[in-house]
C-alpha cells in the first residue's frame, strides 16, 4: 500500500467543514438546558441520544463499533497489520450543567472527521486506527472525573467504589448504567480494563480552555503535560435552629464554617508560592436552605490543582488542617472530609509530541508547546500508552460556560493536524 501522505499534505487532507459544524450544532441540541448552554449528564436520556448520534457517525465512516460495560464507545478502522497495537484518538461528549458545545465534542467529532479526511486522501493505515468516546469525563453525576478512562487504565479502587456509589437522587451507578443499556450482567467492572499494550499511542484533540493560543494568534497547542487534579468532599454539621430565637453566642452555624473553609482554600492556594496552583469551591449546599433557619449542615466540594504534584498535596494538607481548626473553633462537627481523587500529573510522550509538531509544520500551522491546566481523559490514558494532546484556540479561553466557542477554521486546523499525526503514528 502506498504511503499516500507523500503527496502535498495541504491539498490531500481536506476537512468537510460544513458537515462537521452541522454535527457540532446538532449534537448540542441533545441537552437538558436551553441553547446556547449545553447540559448533558452521564446516562441521562440526552446522553443516550448523543451516544446514538456518535455511533451513527462512526458507522457512516465505515468504523466497526463496540461498547464496553460502562459505555466507552470504540470505532475501529482495521490496518493492514492488524496484529499491531492500534493508534487511538478521542475525547468525551458529556457536558457539565450550563456549559458549552465544544469541550470534548471537538475531540470526538474531530477524530471521526480525521478518519474521513484520511479515507478521502486514499491513506491506508498500517496500525489500525481507533476512535473512542469516553463514557464520561466530567464528575457531575457521581463526583468521579474521567470515570471511563480511569476504568480503562485499570483502577481496582474505582471498581470497588462504584459498587456503592449513588447520585444525588440515590440512584446507584450500576442502575444508572443499566438504564442506559450498559453493565447488563456485570457486577464487577474489571472487564473494562484495557489489556497491556492495547494501544501504541493515544492522541486527544481538545479546545485549550485557556486564552494563550488566541492571545498569541497561534493555531495549534502541543500539550507537554497535564496538571495534577484533586477533589475533596467536606461536610460540617451543627445544631441549626431558629434564625430569630437562637442568640449568636449559642450558635454553631455549619454554613459559616463552610464559608470560612472556602476562604481558607483561597488563602492556602495563594500562599503556595506559584501562580500554577489553583483552588475552587464550585459546590456549597446549605441544609435546610431556608432564610430563617440556621444551617445545620453544609456540604462543599473543593477542586484544587497544580502542575507540581507535591505543591498541590501541601495545599490539600493545609485544607484538611483548616477544616478541623474551623470545626473546633466553631463547635461544629466535621462529619465528612473525603479526598475523592488526588491524581499525579501526566507527561506527553516525546514520540507523540514529535509527530504532532512535524504534522503542524508540514501543514504550515503556527504551534507552541504548552501545559494543560484542565484535566482530560488523556491524563489516565497516559498510564496505558504514549499520550499526546492537540489544542486549538477558543474564544477568550472561555469554557464550562455557554460562551465557549471555537471557529470551524480553528477546529479544521486541529482535525488536519490530528489526521496527519494519526497517519504518522499508524505508519511508524
Residues of the shown chain interacting with ligand HGY in the complex, contacts defined by CB under 6 A: 137-138, 374-375
Select the binding partner of residue 236 from ligand HGY, Mn ion, none (C-beta < 5 to 8 A, by kind): none
Name the DSSP letter for residue 166: B
Closest CB to ligand HGY among residues 158, 355: 158
404 lies in the site for Mn ion, by CB under 5 A: no
Shortest distance, position 309 Cβ to ligand HGY, whole Å: 16
- Buried/exposed 214-234: b ≥16 CB within 10 Å, e otherwise: beeebbbbbbebbbbbbbbeb
My answer on whether omega of the bond before 288 falls inside 30° of 0, hence cis, is yes
Name the DSSP letter for residue 18: H
94 lies in the site for Mn ion, by CB under 5 A: no
Closest CB to ligand HGY among residues 236, 375: 375
Select the binding partner of residue 47 from ligand HGY, Mn ion, none (C-beta < 5 to 8 A, by kind): none
Closest CB to ligand HGY among residues 165, 399: 399
How far is 70 from 271, CA to CA, in rounded Å?
A: 40
DSSP string, 384-399: TS-EEEEEE--GGG--
Size of the site for Mn ion (CB under 5 A): 4
Closest CB to ligand HGY among residues 137, 306: 137
Alpha carbon 399 to chain centroid, angstroms: 12
Binding window for Mn ion (CB under 5 A); candidates: 37-45, 120-128, 242-250, 370-378: 370-378
- Measuring CA to CA, which residue among 9, 138, 119 is closest to residue 75? 119
Closest CB to ligand HGY among residues 311, 400: 400
Shortest distance, position 374 Cβ to ligand HGY, whole Å: 3
How far is 425 from 388, CA to CA, in rounded Å?
A: 11
Instruction: Supply 66's cell numbers.
Output: 463496540
376 lies in the site for Mn ion, by CB under 5 A: yes
103 lies in the site for Mn ion, by CB under 5 A: yes
Give the CB-nearest residue to Mn ion. 104
Give phi and psi for 359, each to the nearest 5: -60, -45
Closest CB to ligand HGY among residues 138, 204: 138
How far is 256 from 261, CA to CA, in rounded Å?
A: 9
Shortest distance, position 104 Cβ to ligand HGY, whole Å: 8
104 lies in the site for Mn ion, by CB under 5 A: yes
CB atoms within 10 A of CB 293: 14
Interior angle at CA 66, CA 65 and CA 69, nearest 5:
155
Select the binding partner of residue 386 from ligand HGY, Mn ion, none (C-beta < 5 to 8 A, by kind): none
Interface with Mn ion by CB under 5 A: which residues? 103-104, 374, 376
Amino acid at each position: 500500500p502506498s504511503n499516500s501522505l507523500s503527496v502535498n499534505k495541504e491539498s490531500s487532507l481536506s476537512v468537510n467543514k460544513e458537515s462537521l459544524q452541522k454535527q457540532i450544532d446538532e449534537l448540542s441540541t441533545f441537552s437538558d438546558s436551553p441553547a446556547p448552554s449545553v447540559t448533558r449528564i452521564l446516562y441521562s436520556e440526552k446522553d443516550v441520544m448523543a451516544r446514538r448520534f456518535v455511533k451513527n457517525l462512526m458507522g457512516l465512516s465505515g468504523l466497526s463499533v463496540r461498547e464496553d460495560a460502562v459505555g466507552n464507545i470504540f470505532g475501529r478502522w482495521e490496518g493492514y497489520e492488524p496484529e499491531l497495537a492500534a493508534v487511538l484518538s478521542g475525547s468525551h461528549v458529556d457536558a457539565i450543567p450550563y456549559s458549552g458545545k465544544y469541550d470534548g465534542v471537538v475531540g470526538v467529532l474531530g477524530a471521526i472527521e480525521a478518519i474521513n479526511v484520511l479515507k478521502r486522501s486514499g491513506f491506508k493505515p498500517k496500525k489500525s486506527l481507533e476512535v473512542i468516546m469516553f463514557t464520561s469525563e466530567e464528575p457531575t453525576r457521581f463526583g468521579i472525573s474521567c470515570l471511563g478512562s480511569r476504568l480503562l487504565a485499570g483502577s481496582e479502587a474505582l471498581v470497588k467504589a462504584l459498587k456503592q456509589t449513588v447520585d444525588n437522587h440515590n440512584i446507584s451507578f450500576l442502575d444508572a448504567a443499566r438504564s442506559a443499556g450498559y453493565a447488563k450482567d456485570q457486577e464487577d467492572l474489571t472487564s473494562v480494563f484495557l489489556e497491556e499494550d492495547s494501544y501504541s499511542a493515544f492522541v486527544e484533540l481538545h479546545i485549550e480552555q485557556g486564552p494563550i493560543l488566541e492571545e498569541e494568534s497561534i493555531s495549534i497547542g502541543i500539550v507537554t503535560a497535564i496538571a495534577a487534579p484533586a477533589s475533596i468532599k467536606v461536610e460540617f454539621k451543627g445544631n441549626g435552629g431558629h434564625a430569630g430565637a437562637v442568640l449568636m453566642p449559642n450558635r454553631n452555624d455549619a454554613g459559616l464554617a463552610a464559608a470560612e473553609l472556602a476562604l481558607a482554600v483561597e488563602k492556602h492556594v495563594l500562599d503556595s508560592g506559584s501562580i500554577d496552583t489553583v483552588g475552587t469551591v464550585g459546590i456549597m449546599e446549605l441544609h435546610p436552605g431556608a432564610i430563617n433557619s440556621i444551617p445545620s449542615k453544609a456540604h462543599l466540594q473543593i477542586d484544587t490543582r497544580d502542575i507540581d504534584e507535591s505543591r498541590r498535596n501541601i495545599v490539600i494538607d493545609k485544607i484538611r488542617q483548616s477544616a478541623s481548626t474551623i470545626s473546633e473553633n466553631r463547635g461544629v462537627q466535621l462529619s465528612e472530609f473525603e479526598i475523592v481523587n488526588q491524581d499525579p500529573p501526566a507527561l506527553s510522550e516525546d514520540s507523540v509530541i514529535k509527530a504532532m509538531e512535524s504534522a503542524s509544520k508540514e501543514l504550515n500551522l503556527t504551534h507552541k508547546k504548552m501545559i494543560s491546566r484542565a484535566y482530560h481523559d488523556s491524563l489516565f490514558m497516559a498510564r496505558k500508552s504514549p499520550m499526546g494532546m492537540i489544542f486549538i484556540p477558543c474564544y477568550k479561553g472561555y469554557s464550562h460556560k455557554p460562551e465557549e466557542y471555537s471557529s470551524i477554521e480553528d477546529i479544521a486546523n486541529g482535525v488536519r493536524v490530528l489526521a496527519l499525526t494519526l497517519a504518522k503514528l499508524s505508519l511508524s
